[in-house]
Amino acid sequence: MSSIIIDEISTHETTLECSVRSAADLERFFTDESFRTSYDVPIGDVPEGVLAIPVLAQVCPVAWANGADVYVDEVDATFARALEDVKESLCDMHDFLEGGTLYARRTIEPEPDATAESGLLFTGGVDSTCSYVRHREESPTLISVRGWTITPDAADDGKWDALRERVSGFAADHDCETAFVESNMLSFLDHPMLLAHYKRYVDGGWYSSVGHGLGLLGLCAPMAYARGMEDLYVAATHWDGIDLEWGSRPDVDEHVRWAGTRCHHDAYELTRQERLDVIADYVRDEDPELQLQTCNDRMDGNCGECEKCYRTAIGLRLSGLEPSSHGYPFSDADYRDLRRSLERGEWVLGQDERHMWADIRERASETEPATSAERTFFEWLETADLADLISSSGSPLVHRLLWAGARNAPNSVYNTVYPAWTTAKAGLRLVRSGR
């Protein structure tokens, strides 16, 4: 039976580190890095069974994809039970997952000091901002994570600094605290190799389609324990009626829990356009200067030219807001450019974007266009074959060839005959985030 072993876990002030050993057949899914995560609160007094949660949250889905067992010295009993529930949900969702068993020398049931504090994974995008509005009476701690869409690489320091500054500014303006988490979870895992093996089964990347609900929430466990955080919210990307294979869904996130903390998948009952309506009402009533950040290309503002910027700008218009007042340069001329880009397949899009454009189309059919350019675009959108637009976009051929080659190569061959794959890794580590 394949296995993954979590070795001794150590802490130094605010940093957690441990090494992981795997059976030979799983070595290709791990790099030579130790797993590391740093917080902005001391974690020295956090029990080892809770400290194990961040790494278990990353490696268990990899184990389940290979029918492997996972071994750890100590684990929080509440989280161990949560893993069983999450495993069942993910295996029901993905046919290629085989499952596996977690073995621990000890399980613990600690009782952290409860503070009634809540936390919210926060980027400043539509989904997390909507969740803030819905829970603003709780003054949730706004939690931002580095390690997924912003990598630990020095080249991404500017993006991380921009996100920290923006989230800190939002928190100061709205009387909230912040928490910043930095991890190497996708460079400790060989994410490109995971893509090579499993991209054929999923619409997005490994982390977006399989790992990120459990993974991002699990990263927060030591910080949540240290702060006595009782509720942890993660904003929904999709909504009721969309049955996509996605790593963050109610049947995953609502199961995640550990001593003292329960996790919640928030606003799943609202479509993305309805979430924009919630934000629009809040803007009109309380926060007329609110800025959103959703860009796929920038962290220090919105480029106004990527698919997500266009989609958000039009959604703001449909909710009765002027996009340029909330972070999106947008004019009637952009309707023409957007249509051309969609028809040419210039962006890599998936089924989640299809549903989001269908959501916009439904609202547009109920809305009187403000200009002739808007009317022309909405008339085109009403008859556009969204499935065809999505299918005409996709990963570059060179990436698909590299995935196939890496998937079928023995480890020794992969490490010596695929220098092009190593070169491509940096570009392939970035995966879509819906938040």
Residue 413 has pLDDT above 50, yes or no: no
What span, in angstroms and rounded, lies between the C-alpha atoms of 341 and 397? 19
Cα–chain center distance at 148: 7
What span, in angstroms and rounded, lies between the C-alpha atoms of 217 and 255? 11
Residue 416 has pLDDT above 50, yes or no: no
pLDDT score, position 229: 97
- The percentage of the chain sitting over the pLDDT mark of 90, rounded to a whole number, equals 83
Residue 350 has pLDDT above 60, yes or no: yes
What span, in angstroms and rounded, lies between the C-alpha atoms of 264 and 249? 10
Q: What is the pLDDT of residues 78-130, one digit of tens each?
A: 999 999 999 999 999 999 999 999 999 999 999 999 899 999 999 999 999 99
Q: Tokens 């994974």 — which residue? A: 121
Residue 423 has pLDDT above 50, yes or no: no
What span, in angstroms and rounded, lies between the C-alpha atoms of 325 and 328? 7
Closest CA to 93 of 245, 249, 256: 245
Residue 20 has pLDDT above 70, yes or no: yes
Residue 426 has pLDDT above 80, yes or no: no
Q: Quick one: CA dihedral 104, 108, 109, 113, positive or negative?
A: negative
Task: Determine the longest span between alpha carbons in the chain, in angstroms.
Answer: 68
pLDDT score, position 230: 97
What would the 3-class secondary structure string for the chain be? CCEEEEEEEEEECCEEEEEEEECHHHHHHECCCCEEEECCCCCCCCCHHHHCHHHHHHHHHHHHHCCCEEEEEEEEHHHHHHHHHHHHHHHHHCCCCCCCCEEEEEEECCCCCCCCEEEEECCCCHHHHHHHHHHHHHCCEEEEEECCCCCCCHHHHHHHHHHHHHHHHHHHHCCCCEEEEEECHHHHECHHHHHHHHHHHCCCCHHHHHHHHHHHHHHCHHHHHHHCEEEEEEECCCCCCCCCCCCCCHHHHCCCEECCEEEEEECCCCCHHHHHHHHHHHHHHCCCCCCCCCCCCCCCCCCCCCHHHHHHHHHHHHCCCCHHHCCCCCCCHHHHHHHHHHHHCCCCCCHHHHHHHHHHHHHHCCCCCCCHHHHHHHHHHHHCCHHHHHHCCCCCHHHHHHHHHHHHCCHHHHHHHCHHHHHHHHHHCCCCCCC
User: Which are the contacts of 154, defined by CB distance < 8 A and separation ≥ 6?
Assistant: none
Tell me the residue type at 165: E
Residue 395 has pLDDT above 70, yes or no: no
Is-contact 341 392, C-beta < 8 A?
no
What span, in angstroms and rounded, lies between the C-alpha atoms of 384 and 368? 19
What span, in angstroms and rounded, lies between the C-alpha atoms of 45 and 410? 43
pLDDT score, position 391: 86
Q: How far is CA 232 from CA 97, 212, 225, 264, 358, in A?
A: 27, 15, 11, 6, 30
Q: How far is CA 216 from CA 53, 183, 221, 233, 420, in A?
A: 11, 10, 9, 11, 30
Is-contact 84 47, C-beta < 8 A?
no
pLDDT score, position 347: 92
pTM, two decimal places: 0.90
Question: What is the pLDDT confidence band of residue 60, given thresholds at 50, 70 and 90?
Answer: very high
Find the mean pLDDT for residues 385-402: 69
pLDDT score, position 297: 86
Residues facing residue 103 across a β-bridge? 71
